Amino acid sequence: MRESFLSVPRLCLAATVLSATVFVARADEAPAAGAAPAGPALSFNVGAISEYRYRGIAQSRFDPALQGGADYGAASGLYVGTWLSTIRWIKDAGTLNGVDTGSTPLEWDLYGGYKGELTPGLGFDVGGLAYVYPNNRFGRVSGGSDANTFELYGALVVGVVSAKYSVALTDLFGNADTKGSGYLDLSAAFDLGQGWSLTPHVGRQEVRHLGAASYTDYALTLAKDFGGGLSASAAAIGTDASKAIYVAPDGRFLGRTALVVGLKASF
């Protein structure tokens, strides 16, 4: 989410972990648990999406977003990566208690971890993820906190099913006294053949000391790998989030049900 639950039009945690963020590899969904790669690998990705959702909540206020990242994985199972996306919610927060919260149009994620197999068929993935919003000023707002957020995560994968839990070691996206908030992501990945895949997902965001901001999100993503590093996706995404909290400056509900489509190139 990335909204500030500070009592003004804002948005915070939107879009999924593995959540509803569709088609672009990013930290909260990226390196999936499982066997370590056969050897060192460096990869890059760039893409465009009809709107950026994070854990079901709109980050770009329903406008298209540009995204891209880089990942490095070692044969040992260690990995590091970075990912960026254009956003709107920092600027949309405007002036809070007389403080300009900033106008950064960018989210910058940095992550690293370790993945492998506990036993044949049982994969794991553990790591940390930092969400950075350059020059945000939420920390200067009375009753607020810096929007930059750090989470630890752990995931288990059995067959096509994965379960992942992320916990915030900082306040959550500018919301004071929310350290310890957690997100549970349950997903499955079905290979339909000929480059097609189907991924159902349900997630639960618990916001500590701010129960009204907690919610469940869900998504169903159909993706197509065209080969040569080019892929496309279409996802039906929705939430049961509070329409009073997750609201854009123009009054639209940021967790409303939507179809999100995207195109990505990996190399």
CATH number at residue 239: 2.40.160.40
* 182: in domain: yes
Strand partners, 219: 201, 237
CB 113 within 8 A of CB 74: no
pLDDT of residue 199: 98
Residue ranges making up the domain that contains 225: 41-266
Residue 141 in this model has a pLDDT that exceeds 50: yes
Q: Which residues contact 228 (CB under 8 A, 6 or more apart)?
A: none
* 16: in domain: no
Give the tens place of pLDDT for each residue, 223-244: 999 999 999 999 999 999 999 9
DSSP class of residue 38 equals S
Residue 228 Rama label (left phi>0; alpha psi -120 to 50; beta): left
Which of 157, 23, 125, 19 has its CA nearest to residue 2? Answer: 19
- Kindly indicate the confidence band of residue 166, based on its pLDDT and cuts at 50, 70 and 90: very high
Residue 138 in this model has a pLDDT that exceeds 50: yes
Q: How far is CA 123 from CA 157, 162, 164, 186, 192, in A?
A: 5, 9, 12, 15, 22
Structurally, how many domains does the chain consist of?
1
* 60: in domain: yes
What is the DSSP secondary-structure string of 40-55?
A: -EEEEEEEEESS-EET
DSSP class of residue 175 equals B
Give the tens place of pLDDT for each residue, 9-34: 333 432 222 222 333 334 344 444 45
Which of 245, 251, 250 has its CA nearest to residue 173? Answer: 245
pLDDT of residue 39: 65
Which of 265, 209, 222, 215 has its CA nearest to residue 245? Answer: 215
* 8: in domain: no
